[in-house]
Amino acid sequence: MEGSGEATPTTGGARTLTAKGRATRARIVAAASELVFAHGVARTGIDDVRRAAGVSASQLYHYFSDKDDLVRAVIAHQTDGVLDAQQPLLDHLDSFAALEQWRDMLVGLQEQRHCAGGCPIGSIAAELADDDPGAREDLAAGFERWEAPIRAGLARMRERGDLRADTDTDGLALALLAALQGGLLLTQTRRSTEPLRTGLDAMIAHIRAHSI
């Protein structure tokens, strides 16, 4: 959008966003993320996002070519938010005490939300994973970002001798994330954190069974 003051030309015709442009784009993505979390992708329209962000249609399309483009930005935003909300615990899951603190934090977050909404990444995956290959790849990458620090923490426990040398820490990390996702879904459905706590407790107990 010429004259908007939100982008500047660079060599080869590419544009670099100004500070104002970055702020506007971030506002659009944040508004879209809130709407998608509350109503889902299908029930969130471009006009809904435009009104919530307080931007014109031309501004929105200045940053995003279409709804699919915006949804992929929402996936990135939601992934960052989910992982940031678990810090610093997520990067230090290398003891049973840390795993239990992480469990308590996850359960507490759901209690704060009154068990509504489920997982911001998982809810999008349920809608789009079968029909949108690009979104599915982004979602898979988001889950990998989530699994990686869990995997790293359990590997450190094995290296330190807290877990047996033959422990499949990669498999345990994947199972723990799967228990977390299933627990979040049941917590959302039942409006109770019991499924989430029970699933995580069962996995932590299973990990303990690999201790020396």
Average pLDDT per 10 consecutive residues for the chain, totaling 212 residues: 42 64 95 96 96 96 95 97 97 98 98 94 95 95 98 98 97 98 97 98 98 84
Nearest to 201, CA basis, from 103, 109, 118, 106: 103
pLDDT of residue 105: 98
Tokens representing 180 are: 């977390």
pLDDT of residue 15: 58
Tokens representing 31 are: 């508004």
Rounded CA-CA distance 162/94 in Å is 9
pLDDT of residue 8: 45
pLDDT of residue 6: 57
pLDDT of residue 16: 79
pLDDT tens-digit profile of 161-212? Answer: 999 999 999 999 999 999 999 999 999 999 999 999 999 999 999 999 999 7
Residue type, 158: R
Rounded CA-CA distance 202/105 in Å is 16
pLDDT of residue 2: 32
Specify the 3-state DSSP secondary structure of 17.
Answer: strand
- Within 8 A by CB and 6+ apart from 73, the residues are 29, 32, 64
Rounded CA-CA distance 102/159 in Å is 21
Rounded CA-CA distance 41/64 in Å is 16
Query: Any idea which residue has 């015709």 for tokens?
Result: 13
